[in-house]
Each structure stands twice: as structure tokens, then as C-alpha cells.
Structure 1
Amino acid sequence: MRPTRRQVVAAAASLPLAAAAAPAAVAGQSAGGRSRTLFIAGDSTAAQKYADAAPETGWGTALPFFLDKRLRVANHAVNGRSSKSFVDEGRLEALLARIVPGDLLLVQFGHNDAKSADPARYTEPWSTYQAHLRRYVEGARERGARPVLATSVERRRFDAQGTAVPTHGDYPAAMRALAAEEGTALLDVQALSIARWQELGPEGTKAYFNWTPEEQDNTHFNPPGAIAVARMAAEALLNAGVLPPRDVRRLEDEIPESWITWPTAD
């Protein structure tokens, strides 16, 4: 059962003050009083989708529904990217050029880092994966922004007994270790999502993924799935002390699927 907003807020209020305070920013504004921006660096599970991909939906598209309007979301996640290829293509550099003090950089990679047959994307969990993630963390901090690491949302995979099976190998553990080493906020979306998939079961989870008998996509989301994962991320941002309670909203509300849109690609 999902916790109520009152329970979530109470949990956040019980955090130590040092954990609950975001550097140079409170109540959705920077130290200078302007609106902040939450940047997302990630892969297809978070990315904005276009009309030709509907109903596939990235959770980053739904995240603004759960955040105060003063906290803007700039979704730079791109299909097929890993922590390495995102850097190599100049996407991190372009993103960091837009970041200013008080902003947030939420980083979720891992799905494509594991593709060992593709040297353009592959990273090894305990070496090159962590090394690339450090570039995001250090880049944000150098610009007075706050980095936030998010473990990869889980795929839909169950064993013969109906138990949800993790699919990301050592990548979530490597990110957790790096977050602890760097003192970086961590959203453990992998743990939250696999627990939710276990609750829903093999059949129930089909309603959250871009799954049809013909396609059987067990990685990407439809609107209900994207909304569910975005809600997890928003609750995790609150519980980790990254955002104060007044920066989140609608944690208990049903979000209409009609709020999801797929713009036409340029």
C-alpha cells in the first residue's frame, strides 16, 4: 500500500536537519529567489516520447505533475543512452552549461551501461560506471547545483513462482556505493519499483508497461506506469530530504492519463 501524503511528510520531517536542507535552495527557489530547475539526465525509461512512439511514456514526462510549479523540470534523458554515451555525445556538457546555483541534477543510468557488446555504451559497474557518474556529480557541484543519483527503474521480469526478479546486476549496488562515498542524495528507484512490481504481480504489471501480446515490452512504460514511477521519484525526493514538503504535490491524487501528451518531433 502506498503511504499517505501525511505519512510521507512526517517521514521527511523526521530526517536530520543536515539531510533535509538542500544547499543554497529552499521552497523551490534558489538563494537569489528565482525558480529552480530540476534537470534529468537519463535513458529511454525517463525520456520525453513523441507522437510516433505513443503510448510509450517516460517517467520524466510525468514528474512535473508531482512537483510545485516553481520547480521546473528540464528532461534531457534520451533513448538508448548510457552514462558513457551521454557524456561522449556532449550531452552532459550541454546540460551543465544551462545549470546555475540552486538547480538539481537527477541522474539515472544503468539500462544501457550493461550492454557489453556495445563499446560505445558499455561501462563496468565498479570502475567506468562509477567514474562516469562522478562526472555528473562533480559537474553539478562545480556549478553550485545539487546532484541526485537514482538507481535504474526495474524491468518487468518474474520467475516461475511469480517473484519479481532484478535485472540490473551490480549497477544499482555500484551507484549506492558511489552515493555513500560522495555524500550524494540517492533515490533507490530500483528497490522501490521492484517492490511495487512484486505487489502487482506478473499480470498486474502489464497495465504499467508498454506491453501488448505482440510487442511484450517489459522495459518501457505506458502513461499509468510512467505516472507510477514519477510518483515514486517524487516521494523519494521528499523522503531523502532533497525537496521540502511544499515542493511536492498530489502524492495521493489520481493523475489522469489525459495529462500525458506526445508532441510531434521536429
Structure 2
Amino acid sequence: MLTAFFGVATITAQKAKPVLYIIGDSTAANKQPKAFPETGWGMEIGSFLTDGITVDNRAVNGRSTKSFINENKWQAVADKLQPGDFVLIEFGHNDEKTDKPEVGTTLVEYKANLIKFVQETQAKKANPILLTPIMRRSFKNGVFKDTHLGYPDVVRKLADSLHLPLIDMQRKTEKLIVGLGDEASKKLFNYVEPGHVNYPDGKKDDTHLSPEGAKAVAGLVAEGIKETHTDLTKYLKK
């Protein structure tokens, strides 16, 4: 009887471990080996967290708030949410592609979809945290230019109006990229010399991150988590 009691206690303890879900696009997503060295920041965030929380990265290449919902990728997360879990919500890169109706959203649709994620997370007594999209590396004649139009502002205003924690990744990554400058910032992104097994012709990609870039951006997410002063902060490594 004593063994059975301890077995039940162990199972209960395992169930109590919260999960940190990441929903978003290719900038955060787990990558297949054939895409290396392209790396999503969600692949690196675990290195900043203790083993008291489980990371479940559901971000997927090419998805917007619209396609993430329409393909039932959000429902798969919502069905699993437990009280005390956390959801990092970072979209925008594909929502802004309004010339592609399967992914593009208006600012109004974008806001409505974010509200859906938030409300359905809260309904499960889990904790939503909004993130603005990370910056692309976009320099013209040495001058940095934002490519995200009004989408990050929607996230900021929504966080403010609903009193939600916000990690402003747009501003954090802009500071990082501009601080490095036009040439040096290439190391953060998927720039590959010709002859690589996965990129025989080479690659110059100003959207997707390199391993170094993913680590740096994940560090900024961890910094942002600390600044939210939410319960998630207790799972950050000291």
C-alpha cells in the first residue's frame, strides 16, 4: 500500500509541472535538420529556464494568426492547456502579407485573432503573454528600416487595454540589430556561404535566425519575461 501511495504522489507531482507553450511563426519554430543553420529562438529559450517548467514549442513556419487558427494548430494547444500554464504569443511576419489571403490579415483581423488566443488561454486559467514580432534585418544605405507596418502597435495597444504582459521584441531586436550595424548584424541571421550541404548555392536571409541569432533573441525573450514580473519569472535561471 505504501508503494502505491508514493506512486500516486509522483504522478501528481509530474502533472503539477507547468508548460510554456510558444505559438508563432518561423522566427520561433523548431527547425528540421535540412534547414540548419536556420534556427528558431524557441529552440533556445529552454537554456534560460529551469527544469521546473516544460517548453512545448508549437510555432510553425509560414503561419499567421489566421492560418494558425484555420489549420487547428491553436485548437490543439487550447485543448491541452492546464491552469498555471503559459502561452507566449508572437505573430506578425505573415499576417502582414495581405497579398496572400490564406495568411494575410487586416489589422482588425489580427487584433481579433490575438484576442481569441488570449481569452481562450485565460478561460483555461493559463497565462497569455503577448510578444511583438522580431525585426527583420533591413538596412538601406546603412539606415535601418522597420518592415512591420502597424502590426506591432496592435499588440502593444492590446496589451495595454487588456492589462496583459507584453514583451516588446520589435524594439528589443531593433536595438540589437542597429547596435551591431549593417554588416555585423548578418551573423544573427541565416547567412550561409556557398558549398553548405543544405544550401549549395549559399543563402542570404534577413528574416530567419542563425544559431547565434536564435540564442541572442531567446536571451531577449528571457529578459522580457523577467520584466513582465509574472509567475513565469520564477522559472528563469538565476
Q: Same fold (TM over 0.5)?
A: yes
Would the aligned equivalents of 2:86 and 2:232 in 1 still touch at CA under 8 Å? Answer: no
Give the letter aligned to residue 56 of structure 2.
Answer: A
Matched, 1:165 2:145: yes
Give the letter aligned to residue 155 of structure 1.
Answer: R
What's the offset of the Cα at 1:33?
8.3
Q: Which has the larger radius of gyration?
A: 2
Aligned match of 1:101: 83
Aligned match of 2:106: 124
Aligned match of 2:187: 207
2:63 to 77, 81, 93: 81
Q: How far apart in 2 are the matches of 1:245 and 1:131?
A: 28
Task: Report SS of the residue matched to 2:120.
Answer: helix
Alignment of 1:48-87 (within 5 A): 48-87=30-69
Aligned match of 1:141: 122
Give the letter aligned to residue 37 of structure 1.
Answer: V
Would the aligned equivalents of 2:20 and 2:53 in 1 still touch at CA under 8 Å? Answer: yes
Q: How far apart in 1 are the matches of 2:63 and 2:232?
A: 31
Give the letter aligned to residue 210 of structure 1.
Answer: N
Q: Which has the higher contact order (CA 8 A, sep 6+)?
A: 1
Aligned match of 1:11: none
Would the aligned equivalents of 2:27 and 2:209 in 1 still touch at CA under 8 Å? Answer: yes
2:210 to 222, 238, 257: 222
Q: TM-score, normalised by structure 1?
A: 0.79
Alignment of 1:27-46 (within 5 A): 34-46=16-28
What's the offset of the Cα at 1:245?
5.0
Give the letter aligned to residue 92 of structure 2.
Answer: G
Larger proportion of strand:
2
Aligned match of 2:159: 179
What's the offset of the Cα at 1:166?
1.1
Q: TM-score, normalised by structure 2?
A: 0.88
What's the offset of the Cα at 1:163?
2.9
What's the offset of the Cα at 1:212?
3.3
Aligned match of 2:11: none
Q: Where does the alignment leave 5 or more consecutive residues of structure 2 unmatched?
A: 1-13, 194-201
Aligned match of 1:24: none
Would the aligned equivalents of 1:237 and 1:243 in 2 still touch at CA under 8 Å? Answer: no
Q: Segments of 4+ in structure 1 off by > 3 A?
A: 243-246
Q: Where does the alignment leave 5 or more consecutive residues of structure 1 unmatched?
A: 1-31, 251-266
Q: Deviations over 1:87-106 (max 9, x none)?
A: 00001111111110000011
Q: Deviations over 1:156-210 (max 9, x none)?
A: 01131x2322110100001101111111111000000001101000111111100
Q: Name which of structure 1's ranges 222-231 and 177-186 shifts more when overlaid on structure 2.
A: 177-186
Would the aligned equivalents of 1:66 and 1:231 in 2 still touch at CA under 8 Å? Answer: yes
Q: How far apart in 1 are the matches of 2:122 and 2:66?
A: 19
Q: How far apart in 2 are the matches of 1:197 and 1:169?
A: 18
Q: How many residues align?
A: 218
Q: Deviations over 1:96-155 (max 9, x none)?
A: 111100000110000000111111111112x10000000100010000001011000000
**Structure 1 pair 129/244, CA: closer, same or farther in 2 (3 Å)?**
closer
